[in-house]
Amino acid sequence: MTELSADIEPNEMQVVDHDGAKYAVVNLEGSYYAFSNACTHLGCDLHEGKIVAHKQIQCPCHGARFDVTTGQALGGPSKLDALKTASVTVQDGKLVLGT
């Protein structure tokens, strides 16, 4: 289980180590989502990308897009695998990542 501060501003991301991998945690209008920080195309850091269409992360390298709520690949330079996701709950002012 990974914990971090809930001080993430809307549409901002923070990177954490979770289950042996880097995950990006994003605040979308007060709801928090966690997903693998590595793009499934070439491994670029997704936290350096931007949120588009309200709930998609766009990879800064080649424009691949993923739904941050499900990890589903929505478009990109080739057929992409989905991102791994982790549940996020708020407990005592902290974000807690689960499986």
State the residue range of the domain holding 8: 2-97
Report the pLDDT value the prediction gives residue 79, as an integer from 0 to 100.
77
Whole-angstrom Cα distance, residue 23 to residue 9? 17
Whole-angstrom Cα distance, residue 88 to residue 93? 12
pLDDT digits (tens, 9 = 90+) for 5-57: 889 999 999 999 998 999 999 999 999 999 999 999 999 999 999 999 999 99
Residues 76 and 63 sit within 8 Å (Cβ to Cβ): yes
Return the CATH number at 17.
2.102.10.10
The total of structural domains in the chain comes to 1
